[in-house]
Amino acid sequence: MFNGVWMKTFAELGFPGRLIAVEGLDGSGKSTQIYLLKRWLELQDLKVFFSEWNSSDLVKNATSKGKKRELLSPNTFSLIHATDFADRYERQLVPLLRAGYIVLCDRYIFTAFGRDTVRGCPPAWVRGIYNFAAMPDLVFFFKASLEVSLHRILEGRPALKYFEAGMDLHLSTDPYESFRIFQGRILEEYLAMSTEFNFLVIDANQPIEAQQAIVRDLVAAKVNLKEYKLHKPIPLP
């Protein structure tokens, strides 16, 4: 909701395509689930496109420069990621949805809402900035317990990046502790958003197959998949 107006979904805006987004903490298993969903749709010969978060080189340069030099404030962090999203939205997502694809997004605007709000940006400001983007037709939220998610990410003791660990928030001088607190706050934001934005909440503590069965059922119920058949190529003479 922005300024008392519901942002519309792609279907409500008359796009032929449909956008399905997955959200959840790192380590919630959402990427596995969206991959399996993609395979299922592809194997039915449907027009499906998986949108990875490949930034344009231009925006990538600025973002990595800012991150490397720790130059970013909450507002500039938010804006540079919004720029990146806008680029991807206008050049990739909108054309695909106009062309009638089922577009699968690993993370959408809700990632920004959660992350930027935790960093201290006013929620209304962040939501206002992203309101050029339509709402997904379906949003799956993979709700795993904080401990499970943290364990999956941290078990290999990966090198956590400064912003990724939320070190700019000065929650702790230990990157791992900082990451834990940061992820915990993001989870709270997700839970608060889940009713506001009608997330389809999936219990991510279940087996992979059990989750995927629910996801496929919901997609089949809410999207008329027959409409998205790939056109058979015209046979060569």
Q: Which is nearer to other proteins, 90 or 177 (CB)?
A: 90
Q: Which is nearer to other proteins, 26 or 188 (CB)?
A: 188
> Is the separation of the CB atoms in 181 and 166 below 8 Å?
yes
Q: Which is nearer to other proteins, 19 or 46 (CB)?
A: 19
Q: Which is nearer to other proteins, 66 or 175 (CB)?
A: 66
Q: Shortest gap between Cβ of 197 and other proteins (angstroms)? A: 19
Q: Which is nearer to other proteins, 58 or 230 (CB)?
A: 58
Q: Shortest gap between Cβ of 126 and other proteins (angstroms)? A: 10
Q: Which is nearer to other proteins, 95 or 158 (CB)?
A: 95
Q: Shortest gap between Cβ of 128 and other proteins (angstroms)? A: 3
Count of C-beta atoms within a 10 Å radius of residue 133: 20
Nearest-angstrom CA–CA distance, 121 and 74? 6
Q: Shortest gap between Cβ of 94 and other proteins (angstroms)? A: 9
Distances (CA, A) of 186 to 2, 9, 189: 20, 24, 5
* The token pair that represents 1 in the structure block: 């909701």
Determine whether 89 is exposed, middle or buried from the number of CB atoms within 10 Å of its CB (0-12, 13-18, 19+): buried
> Is the separation of the CB atoms in 179 and 165 below 8 Å?
yes
Q: Compute φ and ψ for 18, nearest 5 degrees.
A: -130, 140
- Using left for φ > 0, alpha for ψ between -120 and 50, and beta otherwise, residue 14 falls in left
> Is the separation of the CB atoms in 129 and 82 below 8 Å?
yes
Nearest-angstrom CA–CA distance, 76 and 212? 37
Nearest-angstrom CA–CA distance, 69 and 60? 14
Q: Which is nearer to other proteins, 89 or 142 (CB)?
A: 89
Nearest CA to 194 out of 69, 37, 15, 23 is that of 23
Nearest-angstrom CA–CA distance, 142 and 154? 18
Q: Shortest gap between Cβ of 171 and other proteins (angstroms)? A: 15
Q: Shortest gap between Cβ of 66 and other proteins (angstroms)? A: 5
Q: Shortest gap between Cβ of 166 and other proteins (angstroms)? A: 14
Binding residues vs other proteins (CB under 8 A): 3, 56, 58-59, 61-62, 65-66, 71-76, 79-80, 82-83, 86-87, 89-91, 119-122, 124-125, 128-129, 131-132
